[in-house]
Every structure is written in structure tokens, then in C-alpha cells.
Structure 1
């Protein structure tokens, strides 16, 4: 796996850099088309193939694919969106490799069987699809034929994952050199189907000068190199002490978070909760320490011990005492010695309309974990794609931003940005965000990784635990699957299977 994600601009730069000596842009087009044809031949039995070509380089790839399959005696039909005399550059040259009939889109009937290669629009599309091309793509949405998309399904924005309403659903998408952001961001990730990265001769040493890159989250990133196991000589205080603020009402949220922090290896986890709910937390998990608090404003007394090196605030905290909750956040963020501070849910929403003062005290030791609604409350003026918004928020706040969702983004103020792509749809249930916040705090407290890397690792592990839990999972199931994820990372010889 190669973790770099190339924007459309970076991909253009990579292609330009690869064009040296005898390698030209047409050479790359030939390699791309042949790679698609080889994937089709290796994956599918011989059957009729309809290749739909557009007017740009993506269409040029399609002509190469059609010619390569025809050479292998496949039954190939080719349709082009424009007259081939109107093609230019490499696309025109590629069209010359096809020596058979060409159907217009107007005369085209979408078949009921066989394969369809979508080579209409690629990564360069920047306008709404209209006219006959739109009608043709709409008809693809109604076919049962497997669709093989070249680079991206037509109508998908390769940088944002946004899809026009005519974007067809691909069975597989074959892209080149590296994935593009839209392959991992919704709804593009879903429209792309299975994503295959084909080698077209863009060497790894070409890439560094055109970075920095977004990265796809996995244990191949630097966080995966950490020694997560606990040495035999260590004791609990070697692994950090997380303090979790417990709420008055939604006690389940802080209990879920605290238990998850323990499962991530934190040596101790203490829940500081109002006296009338402390017993509830004690009964939830006997492995947790629980300290009752009379006045929330006195929370800082519970974190003054320097061994208490991580604080998690917001899970079920409630907004019934806004002043006290803000004070807890300020006291935690500004504590001496400095502590890892994970701010989630209510600890973020409490600053709606009053974000400037929060931004003034945050720093690189802070990790903010908003979902889209909470993000909009904290950063109402930040617009753009999901990566752009997360990056801008990290720069403004000076903190690590974990912008949650099915395509969670982790962004650091030092320009690192990671897109998470694993996980189960069953994470869409109450409490899973609390578990994630606890996992981040628990891992960060161990001091094995910097806050950004700890957040990346925890997000991936959280998603992987959901895959292992399988259908029917609820939030309280997640922590129980963390040991299996640890086993995969620490002792990967025998990996457990994902639940079906």
C-alpha cells in the first residue's frame, strides 16, 4: 500500500515530472489504457464490452483500452461523445489506435449484459455535465452491467468526492500512481466501488518535491512503527493517567469514553463526576477510578497531580452550567505542567458564538473531535471541502482536529492531514464518538506518539474494532474488540477475520 494521496494538481505535476527522455504524456496514456485492459482481462471472463469515451485524456485512455481488448479478441463496442476529428492532443492520437466503427452517444443503446468502461470524464472535469452526455451517464445508473471507471466515475470531483447526479456507480475504479482525495471522501468513495491503483511508471522519487501530501490512514503511517506492547518491567504510571469529566445526566457517554481509554493501554483512568452520579460510574466498570466532585469549578484540583497527564472533557458533560464547563476547559488547557487535552461534544458546543477566546488558549497539546454539527458551531466561517475545512481549523486553533464522519479527517497545525477509510456503517449509533474520544485520550496519555499520530492511530483502531464487531454492533461493544485490534498491530501473525 502507498499511503500518499495526490490532488489533481499534484498528479499533473507528477505526470510532468515523469515525462523525461523517451517517456511522453502519450506514453503514460498508453500505460494507463493497457493497465485497465489487463485488469479487466484478469478479473472478468471474456464477454462483450462497451467503452464510452469522452473528449479529453480520459477518453484517450478509453481508446487504448478498447484497442487492447480488441487485440485479445474481446467483443468491443466503442462510443464517443464527440466526432473523433474534434479530439486533440494525446486523445486524438489514442483514437487512431482504434480501427473499427465508432458509435455516437445519440445512437447508443446501453446493453443489458456485458461490461461497460466509463472513460467519459476524468479528474479534469470542472463543470456541470449537460446534454447528451448527461443523458448517457444517467442511463448508466439504471444498468445492471458492471461498470469499470477509469480514474474516477464520470461526474465525480477527484479532489472533494462530490458527485453530480449523473455519476454512475462503478464496480471498480482504476486510478493511476496514487489514490486521489475523492476516492476516500464521500460520496465519491461509494461511487468508486473497489479502487485499484495501477502503476504507469511514475517513480516514488518523483513525489517528494510536489508534496506535502494528504495520506490515507493505516498502520503503514509513522504511528504504525511504535512499540505498543507493554514491557514487563513497566508499572501503571509509566502508561499515563487519564482524567475524564463525568456528567450529571448522560453518564453513559463518559463511562464509554473512560472504559475505552483503559483498553487503549492507559495505566489509570479516573472519572471525576458530580457526587450524585459517581456511584453510576463506579458500577459501570470496576477498573475505573471515580472521584466525586461537589463544585465543577473545582475540577482543576483533580488534575494538579503531574502524573495525571491527559484530560478528556465533553462526553455527556451537559450544557446546564456553561460557565463551569468553560472554566474546566480553560483550567485543563492551561494546566501546568501541560497535559494532553481532548475536547469533545459539549466541551466544543459550549463555545458557540464565543470561539475567539477558546482559540487563544488552544495549542498543539489539544485534540478537538467535532462532528460536522459541532464543527459548524466552532468554525462557522470556514468553508470548502472536508480536508480544506479541517486543515483551516487546525491552522486557526493550533490544535489537532479530528473531523468525524464516515470519512474522518485528522489534521495537524503543522500541515499533516490524514483521511481515514476503514470502518463499518454500524458506527452510526449513539456513543461511538464517546468511545473514540476515550481511545484518543488513552493512547495519547501513553506518550508513545505525538497528539496527531495518537489521534490517527485511535481513529483507525476505532474503525477496525467496528469491522471486527460486525452487524448489530452498539457503542458498548467497541471497547471489547480493542484487544483483538491490538493483537493485529502487536502480533500480526494471526489476524482475526472481519465479522460478516
Structure 2
């Protein structure tokens, strides 16, 4: 966004004109959401975010609202557009540490915005704590001050906003935790930067959604049959751990795979057959059994890991599946915690055919050095891991990131909190497996799977179980 701002100014657009539109958007939003505020307190920083604040303060005063401005840093030191904005405000700004909260105040936070790269100073942190203690509503401009716009991490202290006003596009800090939980409602305003300039600086990171898989959902046609819709193989755990594979298999069928087969021991399959009808069963109890099964090229993709249990056998089976499309989840990931490089080497060549689905703990087992690098955002970590493993990474959590070895990444934002329930990850693995079996490229298969997973949970509502989720997978939106 910083690059887009600079490019817009270089193209001949008035940088102060952009600031004027931004500040007036903030004022209009504050008035719309808090029409009964007794007083608007505009806290202004020393940079352009503060300049937005002085424009907003002027617009609020012109509307007839009661306004008081407070500055972090000497206003005499303001430069460029921020200095012009302060001069146009034509009023004073008291030092920020002079602010005393009162009932009826609405705080407009224009101190730091998205570009903060160091912990907030003590006097600003004191104000943040006072505002929080009084329970005052906060309208944050660009991002709540204290939140790193690149990583979403809190740099010492931050405001918790009721509402965040940002410009042109959301930033990583709006999407990644904990920043996401501090922004409140987010409103994005177009302040006039041309789309071509914005896209030139946007890179390959986006919000997850159907725009990532256009024309890849393979709509059925009259000549379709079960094999053209893809055959998915799901490996079962032992006789007392079969539920996870059933969730994956059911989700795979519901997600469009023409055939789904559960592979496991006779004891496990005897349990599975009492619960499933449309899913086929295949006895696979040894490497030799799997080798024979793999002679059938019509099995297009596999899911291995959910409640699998036997880590040594998991490593053996993964090695045999190295030429196939594979979703590796749960125990399948844990099986390689001692020697993760041995997994990466199996899938190092050719098309990307491995999808890894680690949660935080599993990610640390496979990529300990990347996980511990505090300079990296979750997006950065996912991209580094995807490149190292030559796999698509689904770095799970409330702010799930999907990353590809080619540098693309998507942050998911449609998953409700009640999706955090036992077995939901097994369902996700089955959805992605079905997409792979139908021929979707690995990144798009993973992104679409995560999106469908969240959309299904949102449709079902609070209190869902993994069984509900697997049985109700929503259609794949285009």
C-alpha cells in the first residue's frame, strides 16, 4: 500500500487530495456509526495517519460535532501533507498524554496506522489502557495503532477498535491474528487510487474466495460417469480409530468425487461397513497390498493421516504414494517429525501434488526453524514452508493461510468460530481430496476446500458436529 501511495503521487494524483478523501471518509463513518457521541477525540500521530486525523477532525467540526484533537509528537515537526492538514484544521492539538477520557467520548485513532514497526511508546500505551478501562468506542484509521500491518502482531500495546476504516484494500494485519480480533468491523473506502496502480503493488497474496478457481469446478455434463468425476482413496486407522476416515470419505463423496474407497485392515473395514453404504472398502494391510492397488491408475488422489496411528506404516505408504496426488494430514504429518526432509524429497520433482494441512503444533514439527522466526508473518511462514516442501501448505487456524511453492497465498476469512470442533479437520482433508481427484490443481483444490469448509460451517450454524459438516458440504461456488 505504501508503494501504491507513492506511485499514485508519481502519476500526478494529488497526495493531499487522497488524504482529504481519506479523512473525510473517516469523519463520515464516525458520524454514521456514532451519531449520539458527546465528543469525538481525534488522536493524531506524526505521519500521514495523523494527517488523515486532522482532516477528519476538521470535517467533524464542520458537521457541528464537538471535537478535540490530541497529538503524539510536536505539531511543529509535521511535514508534507500532514503539515498541510494540520494547518487547514485551524485549531490546536494538545499533547496526547493530556487526554482524560469522559463518558460519551468516541476515540478516533489516527496515531500510527498500518506502517508501525516498533513497540508503541509508553505515553501512547498509557492512553490505550485508559481508553480500554473506560470502555470507550474506538474508530481506528487504517489499523488499530499498535498492530503491525504486515504480521497482525501487537507491538507492545494496541487499541481494540469497534470499527476500522481502511483505504483501497485490507492489509495482512486486518486478516491475521491477533490483529483481526482487534479491528472490529472493517470498512474499506476507495479514495481514488487507480486499480492498475493498486494491482501493480499487490503481489500474489489475496483473500481466499471463488475468484481463485474460476472454471475449475468441473460442472457435470451428460457424458459424466463416476470415474470421470474422480476416485478418492482414504486410509483408515485401526479398528478402534475408524471415525476419522469415515468423515473424510463422506466429505469426499459430498464434495463431488465419483468414487471413494476406504483402505485399511479387515478389522477396521468391518467397522466401517456398518456405517457406510456408498463408500467402497479395500483391504490394505501391508505394503504389498498397497503396491497392487496402485496398479489401478484410476485412483486419482489419496487422503492419509486422519487417526492413522501407525507412524512407521504411514512413512512407508507415503513413500509408495510419492507419484500420486496426496492430502497428508494429522498422523501422516507427525510421522515425519524426526526427518521432515525425507518427506519433502519424495515430492520434490514435477507438478505440485502434495497438500499438507498442519495446525500450529504440526507446523512446528515439520518446520521448526520457520515457526520460530518472529520476524515472519503467518503468510511469510506458510510461503517459506510451501517452497521448502514443494507442497501446498494449509496452515490452519482461525486465520488459515493457504500457500503455494510458486509464491501465491490466500488468507481465509469465512470460517466461523464453531468450526473448531473435533473431526472438522478430517472433513477438510476429504473435501480437498475430492478436489484433487477431480483434477483441480493443488493450490486451487486446497483454497476451494478451505472455503467450502468454512461456508458449510457458517450455513449450519453454532453447535454443528463434524458429522453434520461432512454430510452437508455446500456446492463449490464459482
Q: By the TM > 0.5 criterion, same fold?
A: yes
Moved more, 170-179 or 96-105: 96-105
Provide the aligned length of Structure 1 versus Structure 2: 469
2:401 to 405, 409, 418: 409
2:119–2:157 contact (8 Å) kept in structure 1: no
Instruction: Find 2:140's aligned residue among 141, 145, 149.
Output: 149
Q: Answer whether contact 2:300 2:436 (CA < 8 A) is retained.
A: no
Q: Aligned to 1:155, what secondary structure does the other structure show?
A: coil
Deviates more, 1:52-61 or 1:164-173: 164-173
CA-to-aligned-CA distance 1:4-53 (integer Å, 9 cap, x gap):
xxxxxxx1111111114652332222221112122223343253211111
TM-score (norm 1): 0.90
Residue 45 (structure 1) aligns with: 35
Q: Is 1:352 aligned with 2:347?
A: no
Matched, 1:70 2:61: yes
Unaligned runs of 5+ in 1: 1-10, 491-500
Q: 1:203 aligns with which of 194, 201, 213?
A: 194
Deviations 1:263-287 (A, max 9, x none): 1000000000111111211122211
Residue 194 of structure 1 aligns with which residue?
A: 185
Structure 1 residue aligned with 2:266: 275
Aligned match of 1:430 in 418, 422, 428?
422
State the distance in 2 between where 1:229 and 1:380 align.
41
Q: Which residue of the other structure, out of 365, 390, 404, is the alignment partner of 2:353?
A: 365
Are 1:323 and 2:308 an aligned pair? no
Give the alignment partner of residue 2 of structure 2, picking from 6, 12, 28. 12
Contact 2:283 2:289 in 1 (8 A): no
What aligned pairs does 1:326-475 form with structure 2 within 5 A after superposition? 326-334=315-323, 339-363=324-348, 364-382=352-370, 383=373, 384-447=376-439, 449-475=440-466
Secondary structure class of the residue paired with 1:271: strand
CA drift of 1:224 comes to: 4.2
Q: Superposition pairs for residues 64-103 of structure 1, below 5 Å? A: 64-103=55-94
- Cα pair 1:46 1:74 within 8 Å, conserved: no
Q: Distance in 1 between matches of 2:285 and 2:25?
A: 67
* Structure 2, unpaired ranges of 5+: none
| Deviations 1:422-481 (CA, angstroms, capped at 9, x unpaired) | 11111212111111011100122112x211101101101101111112111121111232
**RMSD in angstroms over aligned alpha carbons?**
1.7
Distance 1:185 1:149 in 2: 17
1:104 CA displacement: 2.2
1:140 Cα deviation after fit: 2.0
With 40-49 and 124-133 compared, the bigger mean Cα shift is at 40-49
For residues 118 and 205 of structure 2, the distance between their equivalents in structure 1, rounded to whole angstroms, comes to 25
Decide which of 286, 292, 311 is 1:295's aligned counterpart: 286
Once the two structures are TM-superposed, the CA of residue 76 in structure 1 deviates from its matched residue by 1.2
Deviates more, 1:408-417 or 1:229-238: 229-238
3-state SS of 1:149 partner: strand
Greater alpha carbon shift after TM alignment, 142-151 vs 296-305: 296-305
Q: 1: CA distance between counterparts of 2:11 and 2:332?
A: 57
| 2:204–2:407 CA contact under 8 A, matched in 1 | no
C-alpha contact (below 8 Å) 1:300/1:332 kept by paired residues: no
For residue 115 of structure 1, give the secondary structure of its aligned residue in structure 2: strand
Instruction: Select between 456-465 and 105-114 the one with higher mean Cα deviation.
Output: 105-114
Equivalences for residues 238-317 of structure 1 within 5 A: 238-248=228-238, 249-295=240-286, 298-317=289-308
Asked whether the 8 Å contact 2:235–2:245 carries over to 1, the reply is: yes
Displacement of 1:255 in angstroms is 0.9
Distance in 2, matches of 1:278 and 1:136, equals: 62
- Residue aligned with 2:321, SS: helix
Contact 1:313 1:342 in 2 (8 A): yes
Please tell me whether the aligned partners of residues 271 and 290 of structure 1 are also in contact (alpha carbons under 8 angstroms). Answer: yes
CA drift of 1:225 comes to 4.0
SS at match of 1:50: strand
> TM-score, normalised on structure 2?
0.94
- CA distance, structure 1, for counterparts of residue 171 and residue 314 of structure 2: 41
1:394-439 CA-to-partner distances (Å, cap 9, x unmatched) read: 1111111111111111111111111101111112121111110111
Aligned partners of 1:340 and 1:365 also within 8 Å = yes
